[in-house]
Structure 1
Amino acid sequence: MLNHETVSRLKELRLFGMVSALESQRQQTEAQALPFEDRLGLLIDTEITLRETKKCARLLARAKLKGPSACIENIDYDPKRGLDRPLLLTLANCHWVEVGQNLIITGATGSGKSWLACAYGNRLCRSGVSVRYFRVSRLLEQITIAQGDGSLPRLRAQLSKVSVLILDDWLLSPISAASAREFLELIDDRIGKSSIILTSQYPVDSWHDRIKEPTVADAILDRIIHVSHRIVITGGSMRKRKGLGN
């Protein structure tokens, strides 16, 4: 029988994984025969695994991914899509986030841009990195509302704490001068210390024309493009083939 005082103290320390592992060891003759150091190591391993699992679940919940089940392992490398498998697998190691780089995913409607962005978001969460998904139009709406009610500093602070922002459907509609300036502020808060995943129907070389304020457009593109990896998806609609999101 486990010492109830020991179990109680472990719970007070929130070492719930160790409590579970200790009970499991008590029921296994083989485990009880192990040296003390080995048993202690197993208890610690179980605690670490439980904490990592809980952290991953929290990160995935907070990320609010459009495609929460999307994962790197399920990428469709159909030749028609023109995907560079070595590049995509290299990006899956998440090193680009550690150095504050960005990821740009472009392709036609239904090509699987959002799904791929969410697959990387999923991988990042499972690697312990904080992520938050937004459609750009919805984020700009939130910024406008925050400007009106005085909560913009708090919103900016919240966004700056997220390691990777997924901004979906960038420039789906031409962006106003005011929205462009707010977007520039968002980018400036993240330069060199956090990352962005952008998806867009439009190729990068057409972005400037869709931002109504040319000088702000120059500043935004200069800050994003030169520190970004690019994935261009070709081919037809994945939505028609597999029912995937954009």
Structure 2
Amino acid sequence: MSGRTPSRASALASASSGSANPTGKSGSMLPPCGRSTSALHALGLHGMAKAFADIEAGGDAASLGHAEWLALLLEREASLRRDKRLSKRLQYAKLRQQACVEDIDYRTPRGLDRSLLTMLVEGQWIDDHANLLICGPSGLAA
């Protein structure tokens, strides 16, 4: 096993035990919040680590209870993972144009119903397991 990279568990153990200390002394040179962020990074919880550092730096730490802290950290981690997944999917799709619903020009006479499009964008039809069929020419007619 000489060519293996260290596992997350061993990285976490070294981060929490202070074995990565460059001085060679026992104990850790990092403050407790630094050890926590190192451990979170070692576990692959980068969103939580960033949120932890942001909360500590912002001075909001004292006003939050433990449950609120945890909820905030979990929310940020989940959000980061969702964003990464979406980014990867968009990259994999290799879309030729960057388009979004907010950029639709309703002034052009195409017969678009703004309220219908708003309802479709909200996605309730997906939750209802309804089908959607869009008919007609694509793009602008010259």
| Same fold by TM-score greater than 0.5 | yes
**Residue among 54, 64, 73 paired with 2:102:** 73
SS at match of 2:81: helix
Question: Which digits, 9 at most, give the CA deviation of each residue in 1:186-237, with x for residues without a partner?
Answer: xxxxxxxxxxxxxxxxxxxxxxxxxxxxxxxxxxxxxxxxxxxxxxxxxx43
Is the 8 Å Cα contact of residues 2 and 23 (structure 1) preserved in structure 2?
Answer: no
- Residue 37 of structure 1 and its aligned partner are, at CA, apart by 2.0
- In structure 2, the CA distance between the partners of 1:96 and 1:10, relative to structure 1 (3 Å rule), is same
Match of 1:54 in 2: 84
- Residue 71 of structure 1 and its aligned partner are, at CA, apart by 0.9
- In structure 2, the CA distance between the partners of 1:67 and 1:97, relative to structure 1 (3 Å rule), is farther
> How many angstroms apart in 1 are the aligned matches of 2:124 and 2:38?
41
- Residue 102 of structure 1 and its aligned partner are, at CA, apart by 3.9
SS at match of 2:32: coil
Larger strand percent: 1
SS at match of 2:122: coil
> Residue type of the partner of 2:40?
L
- Residue 26 of structure 1 and its aligned partner are, at CA, apart by 2.1
- Residue 17 of structure 1 and its aligned partner are, at CA, apart by 0.9
Q: Which has the larger radius of gyration?
A: 2
- Residue 79 of structure 1 and its aligned partner are, at CA, apart by 5.6
**Identical positions, percent:** 34
Name the TM-score, length of structure 1 as normaliser: 0.39
Question: Which digits, 9 at most, give the CA deviation of each residue in 1:82-109, with x for residues without a partner?
Answer: 112222222212344452624324227x
Over the aligned positions, Cα root-mean-square deviation in angstroms equals 2.5
Match of 1:85 in 2: 114
Which runs of no fewer than 5 residues in structure 1 stay unpaired? 112-235, 238-246
**Residue among 26, 32, 44 paired with 1:14:** 44
- In structure 2, the CA distance between the partners of 1:103 and 1:2, relative to structure 1 (3 Å rule), is farther
**Residue among 76, 90, 94 paired with 2:123:** 94
> How many angstroms apart in 2 are the aligned matches of 1:62 and 1:18?
26
- Residue 44 of structure 1 and its aligned partner are, at CA, apart by 1.7
Name the TM-score, length of structure 2 as normaliser: 0.62
Which runs of no fewer than 5 residues in structure 2 stay unpaired? 1-30
- Residue 78 of structure 1 and its aligned partner are, at CA, apart by 2.4
